[in-house]
Structure 1
Amino acid sequence: MKVLTVVIPCYNSAAYMDRAIESLLIGDENLEILIVDDGSSDNTSIIADEYEKKYPNIIHTIHKENGGHGDAINTGLKYSKGIYFKVLDSDDWFDKNSLKKVLDILKNMINNSKTLDMLIVNYVYENINMHKSKSINYKGAMPEEKIFTWDDLGHLKNSQNILMHSVIYLTEILKKCNLQLPKHTFYVDNIFVYKPLPYVKTMYYINVDLYRYFIGREDQSVNEKIMIKRIDQQIKVTKIIIDCYNPMIIECKKLRKYMIKYLVMMMTVSTVLLLKDNTEKSLNKKKELWYYLNSKNRDLYREINKSFLGLFVQIKGLVGKNIILLAYSLSRRIFGFN
């Protein structure tokens, strides 16, 4: 049994996967690295096999047919031997000193029989187009270096959403919530981080910049033009997130509030991209998405309509549209995403 499994989903990642893998090589055999080759056609499989041969006690390679990012994570979860589980995308990397601290804390939790469902760390936007690094931390919103519950959670700013980059889950939690990500679908990281939340009872926050999130490549899934082209997948994920929201299993009011806030973010992204595309087809998709939310959960629809997004979606015509797009543009400049 390993302390932590880190899964690296790889699809044609030969040009940059070395940096991700090397960032995990800290000489600790309590760490398991699973490189999941998702049907690559370049040298990804060769590079992965070479690492496994060089570090057989730490690195294992899994070769599979192409199923997309989510299916690679599903496969990693299936073969994981770690008590805790984290995903590292093949074009991102970890800070080694922060990883050492994370592993020490997880070992301490295990050795002292402490129950910890989710560990949270900072992540850093590395935006090559804006020549900007932006650390996202949870100072002021979460107690630092102590076990806490949802009742202890402070106010999370809009910049402090809990993302896949910032979480390390107890593997058992992911299996308990029957996490199964859809195949051939982008943006499934939202499902990964969202669905297990009601099953999380105990958390721990470390104020270190572990995850370096690289954005700005032209072919990257978070490139705005590509997101517009893949809007159907964004809508699909947003609908799955809506379906995941079940107030019957959300025990804490603060957690319920946060999960609604996250849904506001998801609805905002889909709405903005559809407005930016500005075709009749896209505008009809926007209406259909809001209708889906209303038909699935009327109370949730009302809650989201109280938000900034909901208020301005109700403003018909150019005024409402321009306000939403302006707010999105400002957020992008401040926080460095897309």
Structure 2
Amino acid sequence: MKTISFAIPCYNSADYMDKCIESILACDPDGRGDIEILIVDDGSVKDNTAQKADEWEQRHPGVIRAIHQSNKGHGGAVNTGLENATGLYYKVVDSDDWLDADAMREIMAYLRRQTELKEPTDLVVANYVYEKVYEGSRTVMHYRNVFPVGKECGWEDTHHFNQSQYLLMHSVIYRTELLRDCGLKLPEHTFYVDNIFVYVPLPYVQTIYYLDVDMYRYFIGREDQSVNEQVMYSRRDQQLRVTRHMIDAVDLPDAVESRRLEKYMENYLSMMMCICSIFLRMEKTEENERDREEIWQYLEERNPVLYKRVKRTALNWGTNLPTEAGRQLGLFGYRMAQKIFKFN
């Protein structure tokens, strides 16, 4: 068994995938061969992504595998990676991002120790960095006030997450079998499924280990990027689809044993509902207003208890005031959050 499988979803990624792959190969500088890199070519047609993937496999047989499939979207590529993974752990790295070599030395040392244990850690967490390359700025997102550093813990050992400290796909490494045991399967042809990836498996996580190192470099700046504001607005229907999936996937609070995890997941879903509301109020149309009302109705029908909790949070109370002033207040809050957290 490999120590870890890295999955790289690639869709017309020829211009930047090499840097990503090289950064992952650096996780095994001694050539142990205990890492696996799964390049999932998701039906690329506009460039030579498929050819590059095959060339990488030829140069590193036994370490890199090129997997070609018809286009299924980011979620479909993550699913394919998980289906083919042979590592004890599973990590998704988007093709325009990269891993930090110094940080990964510490992380790999820990993961390798886990291969010797009967009960390895379920979830390994590290920091990620917003790399706004075109602006020349970077913002480190850490969790040192949430998890004990360098010590295995459970959810009851954690502390309060700040508003900017949600676990993202960038910051997590799951035990592979845990993802399979919880039946994780992401929707195909849908953006923003990373939210499902870092939300649905959490009730199955019993043990966590946090390393205070800057592992993941998250590139921000391409015009076609899914977190670009105009792109997000155009894909608001997919944001709604993902949020509905999350509402259905975990029955809060009954499905969660830990009160602290329950609170975290409630806050995460509250954030998702807030994003839905904000993007549906960016442009004042009858369709947008109907969709906003329907997503809240969906939550109320599926989980009345959770609906009451989420609806009355300051975050969602302000963004859903039923007036033009309320709409403007929600948009103002979004702009302020952009400046503070530098998320897009």
For residues 94 and 314 of structure 1, the distance between their equivalents in structure 2, rounded to whole angstroms, comes to: 39
Q: Aligned match of 1:102 in 102, 107, 118?
A: 107
| SS of residue in 1 equivalent to 2:218 | strand
CA shift for structure 1 position 54: 0.6
Alignment partner for residue 272 of structure 2, among 255, 266, 270? Answer: 266
Q: What's the CA shift string for 1:34-77, capped at 9, x where partnerless?
A: 00000101100111111111111211110111111100111110
State, as a whole percentage, how many aligned pairs show the same letter. Answer: 46
Aligned residues: 338
Q: CA deviation at 1:152?
A: 0.4
2:308 equivalent in structure 1: 302
Deviation larger for 192-201 or 320-329: 320-329
Aligned to 1:251, what secondary structure does the other structure show?
A: coil
Q: Which ranges of structure 2 fall in alignment gaps of 5 or more residues?
A: none
Matches within 5 A, 1:241-260: 241-246=246-251, 247-260=253-266
Q: 1:120 aligns with which of 118, 125, 138?
A: 125
| Preserved contact between residue 320 and residue 330 of structure 2 (Cα < 8 Å) | no
> So what's the TM-score if we normalise by structure 1?
0.97
Residue deviations 1:205-259 (CA, integer Å, cap 9, x gap) = 0001110001111011111101111111110001111112213321010000000
Determine the C-alpha separation between the residues in 2 that align with 1:129 and 1:226. Answer: 18
CA contact (8 A) 1:127 1:337 kept: no
Secondary structure at the residue paired with 1:116? coil
Superposed CA offset, 1:157-198 (max 9, x none): 011101111000000110011001111001100011111000
- Unaligned ranges ≥5, structure 1: none
1:129-170 residue CA offsets vs partner (Å, 9 max, x unmatched): 543200000011110011000000101101110111100000
Q: 2 CA distance for matches of 1:97 and 1:113?
A: 28
Superposition map of 1:277-288 within 5 A: 277-288=283-294
* Residues in 2 aligned to 1:100 and 1:81: alpha-carbon distance in whole angstroms: 21
Cα distance per residue 1:259-285 (max 9 Å; x no partner): 000001111111111111222211111
Q: Partner residue of 2:325? A: 319
Task: Please name the residue that 1:10 is paired with.
Answer: 10
| 1:132 counterpart = 2:150 | no
Q: 1:328 aligns with which of 318, 328, 334?
A: 334
- 3-state DSSP class of the match of 2:164? helix
- Inter-partner Cα distance in structure 1 for 2:136 and 2:288: 32
Q: SS where residue 160 of structure 1 aligns?
A: coil
SS in 1 for 2:322: coil
Alignment of 1:186-201 (within 5 A): 186-201=191-206
What is the root-mean-square deviation of aligned Cα atoms in Å?
1.2
TM-score normalised by L of structure 2: 0.96
Amino acid at match of 2:33: E
**1:159 correspondence with 2:177:** no
Rounded to whole Å, the distance in 2 between the matches of 1:313 and 1:101 is 42
Q: Which residue of 1 aligns with 2:70?
A: 65
Please report how far the alpha carbon of residue 111 of structure 1 lies from its aligned counterpart in structure 2 after TM superposition.
1.8
Aligned partners of 1:220, 1:310: CA distance in 2, in Å?
26
Structure 2 counterpart SS, 1:24 = helix
